[in-house]
Structure 1
Amino acid sequence: MSTKDEDVKNLSSIINAEEICDLITLLTDITLLMREQLSDIFAPPAIGQSSRNFLPLETVTAEHTKDDFSSKIRGDGEIKGKFKETKATFYPSENKLSTPKRQQLERDCLEFFDKWRESVMSHVYTAIKVPGRVKEHQKDMKFSKRIPRIENSSETVIIKLDSRNFAANTTLSKLNPPISTSLSSLPQEKRALISHSVLLILLSLEKYMAPSRILLINLTSSLHLPLNFLVKDEIKVAQSLLGAVEHMSGTEETEKRGRENFISRRWKAGLAGVAGAAVIGITGGLAAPLVAGAIGTIMGGLGLGATAVAGLLGGLAQSSVLVGSLFGAYGARMTSRAIDSYAKEVQDFSFLPVKSSISQEILQKDHRLRVTIGVSGWLTDKEDVINPWRALGQESEVFALRWELEALTNLGQSLESVAKSTAWKIAKKEIISRTIFSSLLLALWPISLLSLSKIVDNPFSICMSRADKAGTILADAIINKSQGERPVTLIGYSLGARLIYSCLMSLAERRAFGLIEGVVLMGAPIPSNAAVWLSLRSVVSGRLVNVFSTNDYILAFLYRTYSVQYGVAGLQSITSVNRVENIDVSEIVSGHLRYRLAVGSILEKIGWENIYLEVVAMEEKTLAILKEKENNEEQNRGEKIVSEDESLQAKSDTQKVEASHFESRKSKPIVRL
């Protein structure tokens, strides 16, 4: 391609000066909105939205008060006193949202965001020929009170939605409503090219941070493009970057750069865990024409020329060292033994690729611009480390975290033993009559159930402790960029959710913002108070989802010895912190053990991106079979109980008749003939 042809195919030749101004305005509006949403996290909940973190006992037990529970409270002074004590300490000063620690966390969080925003807009101005008057105008808008105009949802046009991604696109529109812009009326090809160009500009930061991805999601929504377009574009860009540098050989250049700058020294150190690093090949300035040329073909006939792509990518187009750093040494850091250095206090800590085979070629094809880590909460089989995460699509690079294999297997076996026991099934009915919350608050557990505690309490306590340690180790790995410079999504159930909670708390304590894109916590044995969830929310740039079930009696029983006065996230919604999504899956999850089999169904329900519907269908079929089996067992057990009750009643009636007959004989005078 000639220089003249390349010059024609740059962004400024495809969209005019006015449209460039509109693009700058739109990006400014989006970042202003993102900052406002970030600040809103630290604001008290809206009027009418309770800041309390657990349902009041009076509300929870309203249906059972007259017949079952209030009489016990009125009649038992000890229980009544305990109820008053629990109620008094349950809402400690409404969690004191306005504290110095909260204010410092808010300042640090906003300071990080402002630095990121400044860097993004600076790269935008450099990559696109922006008129000077527009730059000055945008600077004036930086911290203005101007509120971007959100389009009415009825005006939004989503193009070419396929059934697989319909839920995700619907969720995109609800969570990220489009901002009004004249760019939405451009032809689809131009809108797609604008989104593609902004992605390249964000990659020129030499890291793909979580807020950068949220910016692109908002841009995609405002341009009336489906979320799937952004996802596919990310995949194509990732493969083009990796493909352009895969077969290069530049050992001498690497050694030279290692002597000249710190980046290469850090990169070379990172290669310690990469098998066959010399085969991968690293080079310096030779990368630019290949990388730019490969990416320039992504958009087809309306693609950008190599010169334009190189300008948008900046230094990333000129160094495969930076490309490798972006992908975490081409993904090797996630699976190499170097990760063991973080995991001295936890056994079996490693990342297992969910989609890839052992073949290096397949692994290379699986690399993406985003990373998703699934964390299981207990195991009944070694395959349970990976199997629950099969529903996650290939649009993100998916790993399963293997941790504490032996401890989690012991817990899984203990939980199954309890769940299948007759004592649990009988006790469950008694708990239901009181409601799960009253049992938690007043520690009123059936004696038959308490006898089972020795089976599960110790394994659960061990796993809780190790989940906290493993979470800190995961935070270390993420901060030290085991995933490269890519955003991470964390999904976990049960103690896997506890591990993620520990990870996020560690990240918040160390002010490690911009690393986590999204989080889903299912059946989490963690507190629900504001202080905790404020910290969690501060380090998650995108969606933070709390999945809970009011039918999770096992979780309530297991968590009874912990700080129940601060609530249990896996049993209730989180209303004390803004921008936390609460999903009630009581209809899907009939008990704690169901989470392992319902991950795909839950993710589809919440409109998560790129879920394999085929896997979800298999999960739903399995759950339906189990539910039918449970119903049959319950019916048979009910008939057996009725039969036993009838037999006991008949025996009792017989005894009464015999006793009555005996008494009547005793009362009659004896007549002697």
Structure 2
Amino acid sequence: MEDKELTQILTDNEISELVALVSSIMEAMRSKLELTLNAKRRKSTILEIGWSNPNLQNEQDPSTAAPSNPKVEELEVEVDKKLQEARPHAIKSFSEWQEATLHRILEAIHKHTGGNRVASNHVEIVDSAPNTTEQDALKHWYPSFDTRLASMLDTHTASLTLHSLLLLAISLEIYDPRSRTLLLYVCSSLRVPVSVLLRQESGTARFLLASVDSKQQQQATLAPTSQMSADSYVQQRADATQTSRRWKVGLATVGGAVLIGITGGLAAPLVAAGLGTLLGGIGLGGTVAAGYLGAMAASAPLVGGLFGAYGGKMSGEMMKRYADEVEDFAFLPLHPKLESKLRVTVCISGWLTQDDQVKSPWMTFNDSANVYALRWEMKALLELGSAIETLVRQYAIGYIKSEIIKRTVLASLWSALWPLGLLKFARIVDNPFNVAKNRSEKTGLILADAIIHRAQGKRPISLIGFSLGARVIYSCLLSLAERKAFGLVETVVLMGAPVPSATETWALMRAVVSGRLVNAYASEDWVLGFLYRTSAIQLGVAGLQPIEGVEGVENFDVGDVIDGHLSYAYSTQAIVTRILDADLAQNITLTV
């Protein structure tokens, strides 16, 4: 741990290389965003199957065919229009972040004229050599940029440089997900393990909270225990929307909800040197850290806003009726006693066979982020889970799979040639699925509202869900795009998603995701195909096929991991580890 600023850590040449690296990364991020926003419409795989094999349509049984949807073209035009409307706002939002962040970095660098450090052979390593597997995974998702800085800096100096950039980003009074994406590219380019960034984030969170806590011994300006729940902004929304709809929200706090670590007032002058030990020896010393953080290191309201201590509270026991349309909406902390972190992850199950499946699929995540499970529409999800279980257990599944796979699930969707025995079960699953599907869309709108109103504080939020939980996220992202709410969401993973695979739809979603947007699919998931057969299949099905034509959307075929749609609830650890190994996987200390 060193109390030296960037101008003392780096030579003038190294500082120039750093500025060039950051600028290059930002420009590449902008270019990717522009490519996304200019995505061209592509035919769905389902349409391609139908057009390339006219015999399928000749075989179609009109009595069992999925009803044609005359509104499909209208939906495509509507989404395309929304994409066009979002384009200038997305670029403007990115430009504002880029300008503010680069200005803050240059401000810190030019605080002193000229560097005070001269090149030397001094090497002080706080970590062992980078884990090759970890580094390779990081570079796969965040390709390294060609920079001489990688060979100019030793491991220790590179880590200090990374920590400086982290603190400068947070000094803007927000940890923007685009800033985190920038830092991950820096990690990759300077060969710094992502685990170093995760430890720096954790230490910085402790540092900020302790700086606030040190002041409350002299003044008490907060309630004894500020917890994360969704109380005051929900009340504001209730007051603001009484004329349009009736909001039903309970405002009691969950017992054992996550404490943010602020136990009273906010902040006396920072004892920087003493608090520096909380950084854990993984970066700059306390005095320099406080200097780079600026007002953030001494302002209770700013720290509270970052961690969601005011108004952006995430978990509430009585939030059973967030709105008339959605029941049982609540954020449930997976690790209630965990201190606040610089990131938030929300996990969403898409059907339930028992109550504890709201949280149980996600319990393997660890502690580099505050992780919540979203509880929503319990009754509808339990009914859907029961119906799917009945379908899977009572019918000759082996026969179904063999019959469907002969022509693939996508071909069966297009031709509507489902086994007659399977169609007899339609009445069991269709209504529960359609009810839950409708509720998922409304829940997504509520989730978007919560994110816009900073339920998570001013921290990056990641969203992960399977089945209709993925559709909640789909609805949320489209709502964020429509409301021009950019720079809020970091990473998104959709597994077995019953949502369209249309290019424009995913381009619109990609525009509001600053980090990675991942589609995990299984082409032989016949349950998903059967459930979704009466929807707008002409737009494709993301959970059955890769997304094509959208810059930055990643596709993972998880057919070798799951054995049918029901397997998603029991395979989340395996899937997420495969997809997010460089950042969120269980095998990296201090990751989600």
TM-score band by shorter chain is 0.7 to 0.9
Q: Could you say if the C-alpha distance between residues 330 and 510 of structure 1 is closer, same or farther in structure 2, counting changes exceeding 3 Å?
A: closer
Query: Offset of 1:335 from its aligned partner?
Result: 1.4
2:150 partner letter: S
Which residue matches 2:514? 541
1:218 to 166, 170, 185: 185
Which residue matches 2:270? 288
- Contact 2:521 2:543 survives alignment (8 Å): yes
Which residue matches 1:635? none
Question: What SS does the corresponding residue of 1:121 show, helix, strand or coil?
Answer: helix
Question: What SS does the corresponding residue of 2:347 show, helix, strand or coil?
Answer: strand
Equivalent residue runs for 1:106-125 within 5 Å: 106-125=87-106
- Contact 1:21 1:130 survives alignment (8 Å): no
Q: Could you say if the C-alpha distance between residues 559 and 338 of structure 1 is closer, same or farther in structure 2, counting changes exceeding 3 Å?
A: same
Which residue matches 2:142? 176
Question: What SS does the corresponding residue of 1:38 show, helix, strand or coil?
Answer: helix
Distance 2:457 2:387 in 1: 38
2:592 aligned with 1:611, yes or no?
no
Query: Offset of 1:526 from its aligned partner?
Result: 0.5
Question: What SS does the corresponding residue of 1:525 show, helix, strand or coil?
Answer: coil
2:124 aligned with 1:129, yes or no?
no
Q: Could you say if the C-alpha distance between residues 14 and 101 of structure 1 is closer, same or farther in structure 2, counting changes exceeding 3 Å?
A: same
Question: What SS does the corresponding residue of 1:407 show, helix, strand or coil?
Answer: helix
Distance 2:543 2:309 in 1: 37
Distance 1:447 1:320 in 2: 65
Which residue matches 1:524? 497
Distance 1:73 1:249 in 2: 72
Query: Offset of 1:336 from its aligned partner?
Result: 3.0
User: Runs of 5+ in structure 2 lacking a partner?
Assistant: 116-126, 223-231, 238-250
2:166 partner letter: L
Which residue matches 2:36? 41
Query: Offset of 1:298 from its aligned partner?
Result: 2.6
2:43 to 52, 76, 88: 52
Q: Could you say if the C-alpha distance between residues 295 and 484 of structure 1 is closer, same or farther in structure 2, counting changes exceeding 3 Å?
A: farther
Percent of aligned pairs sharing the same letter? 38
- Contact 2:444 2:476 survives alignment (8 Å): yes
Q: Could you say if the C-alpha distance between residues 406 and 423 of structure 1 is closer, same or farther in structure 2, counting changes exceeding 3 Å?
A: same
- Contact 1:492 1:522 survives alignment (8 Å): yes
- Contact 1:520 1:545 survives alignment (8 Å): yes
Question: What SS does the corresponding residue of 1:401 show, helix, strand or coil?
Answer: strand
- Superposed CA offset, 1:431-466 (max 9, x none): 222321222112222221111111111111110011
- Contact 1:159 1:225 survives alignment (8 Å): no
Equivalent residue runs for 1:143-154 within 5 Å: none
Q: Could you say if the C-alpha distance between residues 112 and 14 of structure 1 is closer, same or farther in structure 2, counting changes exceeding 3 Å?
A: same
Query: Offset of 1:398 from its aligned partner?
Result: 0.8
User: Runs of 5+ in structure 1 lacking a partner?
Assistant: 63-68, 135-157, 256-264, 357-361, 615-673
- Superposed CA offset, 1:319-363 (max 9, x none): 12211211111898111358567444211111111123xxxxx33
Distance 1:94 1:401 in 2: 29
- Contact 2:349 2:466 survives alignment (8 Å): yes
Query: Offset of 1:564 from its aligned partner?
Result: 0.7
**Number of residue-to-residue matches in the alignment:** 547
Distance 2:103 2:252 in 1: 35
Query: Offset of 1:492 from its aligned partner?
Result: 0.3
Distance 1:27 1:300 in 2: 25
Equivalent residue runs for 1:207-356 within 5 Å: 207-246=174-213, 248-249=215-216, 254=221, 280-284=263-267, 286-290=268-272, 293-295=274-276, 298=279, 300=281, 303-304=284-285, 306=287, 308-329=288-309, 333-336=313-316, 342-356=322-336
Q: Could you say if the C-alpha distance between residues 78 and 593 of structure 1 is closer, same or farther in structure 2, counting changes exceeding 3 Å?
A: closer
- Contact 1:493 1:595 survives alignment (8 Å): yes
Distance 2:261 2:114 in 1: 50
Equivalent residue runs for 1:387-536 within 5 Å: 387-536=360-509
Question: What SS does the corresponding residue of 2:216 show, helix, strand or coil?
Answer: coil
Query: Offset of 1:58 from its aligned partner?
Result: 4.7
Equivalent residue runs for 1:75-114 within 5 Å: 101-114=82-95
Which residue matches 1:14? 9
The Cα RMSD (Å) is 3.7
Q: Which stretch of the first structure deviates more once superposed, 535-544 or 272-281?
A: 272-281
Query: Offset of 1:102 from its aligned partner?
Result: 2.9
TM-score by length of structure 2 reads: 0.83
Which residue matches 1:554? 527
Question: What SS does the corresponding residue of 2:514 show, helix, strand or coil?
Answer: coil
1:123 partner letter: R
1:496 partner letter: G
Q: Could you say if the C-alpha distance between residues 558 and 93 of structure 1 is closer, same or farther in structure 2, counting changes exceeding 3 Å?
A: closer
Which residue matches 1:379? 352
1:160 partner letter: A
Which residue matches 1:573? 546
2:164 aligned with 1:191, yes or no?
no
2:584 partner letter: N
- Superposed CA offset, 1:81-114 (max 9, x none): x99x98x999969967996543332211110000
Q: Which stretch of the first structure deviates more once superposed, 604-613 or 579-588?
A: 604-613
Distance 1:302 1:124 in 2: 17
Distance 1:41 1:104 in 2: 14
Distance 1:578 1:252 in 2: 51
Q: Could you say if the C-alpha distance between residues 305 and 600 of structure 1 is closer, same or farther in structure 2, counting changes exceeding 3 Å?
A: closer
Distance 1:314 1:212 in 2: 17
2:271 partner letter: P
- Contact 2:207 2:278 survives alignment (8 Å): no
Greater RCO, CA 8 A, separation 6+ = 2
2:186 aligned with 1:200, yes or no?
no
- Contact 1:241 1:295 survives alignment (8 Å): no
Distance 2:261 2:577 in 1: 42
Q: Could you say if the C-alpha distance between residues 568 and 305 of structure 1 is closer, same or farther in structure 2, counting changes exceeding 3 Å?
A: closer
Which residue matches 1:645? none
Q: Which stretch of the first structure deviates more once superposed, 590-599 or 429-438?
A: 429-438
1:171 partner letter: A
Query: Offset of 1:288 from its aligned partner?
Result: 3.0
Q: Could you say if the C-alpha distance between residues 439 and 600 of structure 1 is closer, same or farther in structure 2, counting changes exceeding 3 Å?
A: same
Q: Could you say if the C-alpha distance between residues 389 and 162 of structure 1 is closer, same or farther in structure 2, counting changes exceeding 3 Å?
A: farther
Query: Offset of 1:302 from its aligned partner?
Result: 7.1
Query: Offset of 1:534 from its aligned partner?
Result: 1.4
Equivalent residue runs for 1:569-608 within 5 Å: 569-608=542-581
Query: Offset of 1:567 from its aligned partner?
Result: 0.7
Query: Offset of 1:421 from its aligned partner?
Result: 1.1
Which residue matches 2:242? none
TM-score by length of structure 1 reads: 0.74
